Amino acid sequence: MNIEQLKYIVEVAKYNSLSIAAQNLHVTQSTISQAITHLEKELGVKILKRSRGHGAVPTDEGREILKLSYELLKKLEEINEKANLINSPDVGELRISSLPGLMTFLVKAIAAFRVDYPHVRLKIAEKSGSNAIETVRQHKTDIGLITYSPDWNINIEGLVFETLIEGKQKVYVSKHSPLAFLGTITPQEIVDQTLVTYNGEFMQYFVQDFFNKNKPMKTLFISDNIDGVGQAIIEGLAITFAPDFVMKNYPLVINGDIIPIDLVNYDAVNISLGLVRSENKHLSSFAKKYIQYLKSEIIK
């Protein structure tokens, strides 16, 4: 038995696929297949049942072996981290994936983190919610900062989502709009307005839900660029929807060019801002420290 064999069975079980595991681990499918066969012969236990229709699925006995393998690999990560800290204290890399619009939280946390860990390299990638989840699932990033709702059909099996703050959906208009003077607004008061939206998964889910419950609004455009959305609003061309935690640090909201208004008389889906991480991957000590700083900034 060797560590590579355990890595192979864990990765295959994660996706029920030898081909995906081979791609993720940068080896051939034949290498993984032979390694698993040798391990099963050595242990005398059938770990994975392979079929064309269902891929590679753990057997009942195999699940017990896989559970122990997960635990062992996690312990090995801890051993490697401890050795790295002994040889090179406070040196390493922290990889973060995040939804666009949340960079302010990340940067403020980095400012405090740098004081304690000046030699840790940080890599931040802006991604959609599902892409952020997948990069964490594949261990390409250590943590993801995402919005999440249990109402969405999103698979987070094998992951842990920790809610940091509950969100509230608001309407955002130009300061010159007649709507800007309203303290609250109802769906009936905005259905005849023109809409501009950010091309995020949650936003498109919310907009479709809003259209279904009321009536479709005229859409100016859908954009991957949040600044383009903001410019359309301050020009008075359209309004938009967004969670309050995404927009509260947006410069055009802070300086008053864009006005947030509470949306009332509408049963919107619940949404949270939080962290997603793999339940099977050990987090480094500096990753845990960064999360503490990030939580502090978001709670503020």
Region 72-98: what's the mean pLDDT? 78
Place of tokens 């940091």: 164
Q: Look over the chain and give the mean of its residue pLDDT values, rounded to a whole number.
A: 87
Dig out the tokens for 98 from the structure: 């995040």
Q: How many CB atoms lie within 10 A of CB 43?
A: 14
pLDDT of residue 63: 92
CATH number (1.20.1090.10, 3.40.718.10, 1.10.10.10, 1.10.260.40) of 3-85 reads: 1.10.10.10
pLDDT of residue 86: 63
**Contact 173/239 with Cβ under 8 angstroms?**
yes
pTM of the model: 0.62
Separation of alpha carbons 222 and 104, rounded Å: 23
* pLDDT above 60 for 9: yes
Q: Residue 134: helix, strand or coil by DSSP?
A: helix
* pLDDT above 70 for 59: yes
CATH number (3.40.50.1360, 3.40.640.10, 3.40.190.10, 3.40.50.920) of 169-263 reads: 3.40.190.10
Which residue in 59, 67, 55 sits closest to 10, CA to CA? 67
* pLDDT above 80 for 269: no
Dig out the tokens for 249 from the structure: 């640090």
Strands 169-174 and 240-243, bridge-based pairing: antiparallel
**Contact 245/273 with Cβ under 8 angstroms?**
yes
pLDDT in tens, 202-213: 788 889 889 998
Query: Hey, what CATH topology would domain 91-165+274-299 get?
Result: D-Maltodextrin-Binding Protein; domain 2 (3.40.190)
Q: How many CB atoms lie within 10 A of CB 49?
A: 13
Separation of alpha carbons 28 and 22, rounded Å: 6
Separation of alpha carbons 143 and 141, rounded Å: 6
pLDDT in tens, 120-135: 889 999 887 888 888 9
